[in-house]
Amino acid sequence: MHPYEPFVGVLLLPGHAAFARTAPVTLPDGQPVAQIRWPALSMTHRFDILDAFGDAELAVGLKGFWGRSYQITGLDGDVLLGLKPSWWFPIGRSVITLPGGQRLTTKGNWTGRRFKVRDGSGSPVARLATTNRAFSLRQDSVAFEMTAPVLSIVQAVGLAECVRVAVRAQQSSG
């Protein structure tokens, strides 16, 4: 399973635990496929996507100017995914741009981490849902299910983490 190839399946992304700088991304059977790393004391909302063992950086996620856009860039600087939240955030439609200009849209409850991703024809290709448990030390845990081979593991992890960053930014500004 290559992290840059189209992926169909479910990815589990635990939330950011207190004092932890990394979190594993796994398949439902527990197999690790990537890690998310958050820099210590960063005000830029940057995060890194690492390989399953945390040995190699695969991509970087950044919050754009004033939080109106988010992007995932590869090691060569190419944009792997762009996210532009809607003006009616957190419930409106947002636009995801992929390399080559392909556009996807989202609709659902972002603050509740429950939304669907649709392709240009309106067909569902993915969905994100919260997996938080009451009294858990990790909040913000999500499951991201890709039902069509549109996103790679790196893009899916990046999109899910961009959503979490966007929600946190929205909540802290309100």
CATH number of the CATH domain containing 104 = 2.40.160.200
Q: Is residue 4 domain-resident?
A: no
Q: Is residue 56 domain-resident?
A: yes
Residue 145's nearest CA partner among 161, 129, 159 is 129
Q: Is residue 2 domain-resident?
A: no
Confidence of residue 135 (pLDDT cuts 50, 70, 90): very low
Q: Is residue 43 domain-resident?
A: yes
Q: Is residue 1 domain-resident?
A: no
- Can you give the residue range of the structural domain that contains 144? 9-173
DSSP state of 152: B
Distance CA 81, CA 125 (A): 15
- pLDDT of 126 strictly over 90: yes
The confidence score (pLDDT) of residue 137 equals 44
Higher pLDDT, 93 or 169: 93
Query: Does the predicted TM-score (pTM) go above 0.85?
Result: yes
Half-sphere exposure of 109 (CA within 13 A, CB side): 6
Q: Is residue 99 domain-resident?
A: yes
Domain count, the chain: 1
Q: Is residue 37 domain-resident?
A: yes
Q: Is residue 3 domain-resident?
A: no
